[in-house]
Amino acid sequence: MKRRVLLTGGAGFIGSAVVRYIIKDTQDSVINVDKLTYAGNLDSVIDVSESERYQFEQVDICDRAELDKLFEIHRPTAVMHLAAESHVDRSIDGPSEFIQTNIIGTYNLLEAAKAYYLTLPPQEQSAFRFHHISTDEVYGDLEGTDTLFTEDTSYAPSSPYSASKASSDHLVRAWQRTYGLPTVITNCSNNYGPYHFPEKLIPHMILNALDGKALPVYGDGQQIRDWLYVEDHASALYQVVTQGVVGETYNIGGHNEKANLDVVHYICELLEEFVPSKPDGVTNYKDLITFVKDRPGHDVRYAIDASKIDNELGWTPSETFESGMRKTVLWYLENQAWWQRVLDGSYSLKRIGNK
């Protein structure tokens, strides 16, 4: 079966990885729906943008009328919903956009999908899926070092971002339970890899180090995250949308728990190996590490139990933290044109396009 996937947020970090995966590794088609906010970057899908199985639509998921048109025109067999405001610091400074996009936008997409789904003949209804992509941050944080988030962990979000994502998860479950919309949900750990927007921890540290700037680490840097290589995540998401059971939730993790400070140290070690010629005044990259005031409500530890998706769908990550980080650092070293266009703002001039 060749699918037509309507994918929201496909110009973002994770969404673009899924777009590239579907076009390069499957025979399915993608309708990439993205508002192109500050983090939306069509350069991230340029490798596949000429494919006849790829189409781009610049649409805000809060615009119900435009969503209805998309469903009518493209007749998708699946929805993969990745569009979201996702930066915790930004959510603390200005939560309104997170409420609007992550909650109201998800509601509008659910309503548009439901209206479309109800027009389908029974055979097409049975094949249709609405896949909502969420985060492990909805669970709050973990005490100690032994416990893991499972699909049954109670929700306890700490930030406006994670609270808005928790809200969207609840909406998706309600639309499945009340209206029979065939949904699946995934909650993932921290992603990293190519095409990551430079405000995020790993690319921020790489680019600051290359420029001889401070490497700011919150608090004591002992906050623990489970790190998932984004291309592994993309393959997992495709496995879920094609094989996942309706009404189920699947946690996706990388089996790589690392303290933030250890992540920064490893980036510095890799840069010592790959770029031994440092900026003026820098003897060791690690000397650039600077501890700064911790952010409000900072969760201490996230860790995913990904045994369900392994046992039921046969997915496990391909990359270790070390192998994925080597690929990531090398990618940023070899793709300066991509991140330079982000830093100087020129990427944002490319706001409308197709194929």
| Grouped pLDDT means (10 residues each) for the chain, 355 residues | 96 97 98 93 97 98 98 98 88 93 98 98 98 96 82 94 97 98 97 94 97 95 94 98 98 94 98 96 96 85 94 97 98 96 81 39
Tell me the two tokens of residue 225: 């995250």
Cβ pair 238, 22 in contact under 8 A: yes
Q: What is the CATH number of the domain that holds 117?
A: 3.40.50.720
At residue 350, the pLDDT reads 53
At residue 147, the pLDDT reads 87
Q: How far is it, in rounded angstroms, from Cα 302 to Cα 285?
A: 27
Range of the domain at 26: 4-193+227-255+302-318
Which residue reads 């197709």 in tokens?
354
Annotated catalytic residues are 136-137, 161
Closest by CA position to 186, among listed 144, 158, 228: 228
Phi/psi for 110 (5° steps) reads -60, -45
At residue 187, the pLDDT reads 98
| In a domain? residue 345 | no
| In a domain? residue 12 | yes
Cβ pair 44, 231 in contact under 8 A: no
Structural domain count, the chain: 1
Strand-pair category, 257-259 with 4-8? unpaired
Strand, helix or coil for residue 218: strand
Whole-structure pTM value: 0.94
| In a domain? residue 294 | no
| In a domain? residue 222 | no
